[in-house]
Amino acid sequence: MAEVTADGSHLTYSDGLWQGSITAASSAGSYTVNIRAKDAANNVAESTAAYTVVAPTGGLGVGISPMSTTVTAPATINYNIRIKSTENIDDIIRVYVSMDGLSSSYHMPLTWFNWTEKTVKLSAGSETVIPLTLNIPSDAAGKKAFRIKAESILWTSKAQGTAVITIS
């Protein structure tokens, strides 16, 4: 059986990958990690891999299109949810539908939405558009609203946007 270490930390072979944890440098900059593999016959191979430590900066933005609309029930509204990163790191973003902070009279059932939560990978400085469909039943009426919240899984960035629907 082979033994693999990265900067002296033992790695475990699982699902076709050598996996484990090392303690990365705490200061921003470019570094290398030393990798050493030894097989059952004590043959040794060594290599290095480069990595970069960055101090995260930037944030997220959420756009909802259309932001305001008027419909007659029953109706289907197709939205484009735009998540924009000004972060300097590649990130994983949790995007979800929320009624938090809205007056209860504006709330609508989450079952009207074709999804209520997604996880998206977002490269530094990029954006993505996520389609969202809202199906309004025939017995609905009044002014309704919802929020789309986006929260970084890897850092502290978060953002939200709000859409309003007038249903007659």
CATH class of 60-167: mainly beta
pTM above 0.85, yes or no: no
Name which of 46, 130, 57, 41 is nearest 89 in CA terms: 57
For 105, the token pair is 């009279």
**DSSP E strand stretches across the chain:** 3-6, 9-10, 12-14, 17-19, 29-38, 44-53, 60-65, 68-71, 75-85, 91-98, 117-122, 127-136, 142-152, 158-167
Report the pLDDT value the prediction gives residue 58, as an integer from 0 to 100: 95
pLDDT band for 1, please (50, 70, 90 cuts). Answer: low
Q: Is there a contact between 87 and 57 (Cβ–Cβ < 8 Å)?
A: yes
User: Is 90 exceeded by the pLDDT of residue 16?
Assistant: no
User: Is 90 exceeded by the pLDDT of residue 26?
Assistant: no
Phi, then psi, of 104 in degrees rounded to 5: -60, -25
User: Is 90 exceeded by the pLDDT of residue 97?
Assistant: yes
Distance CA 101, CA 44 (A): 60
Domain boundaries, the chain: 3-53, 60-167
| Mean of pLDDT over the chain | 95
pLDDT band for 93, please (50, 70, 90 cuts). Answer: very high
Distance CA 40, CA 125 (A): 46
Name which of 129, 123, 39 is nearest 83 in CA terms: 129
Report the pLDDT value the prediction gives residue 166, as an integer from 0 to 100: 98
Q: Is there a contact between 8 and 23 (Cβ–Cβ < 8 Å)?
A: no
User: Is 70 exceeded by the pLDDT of residue 109?
Assistant: yes
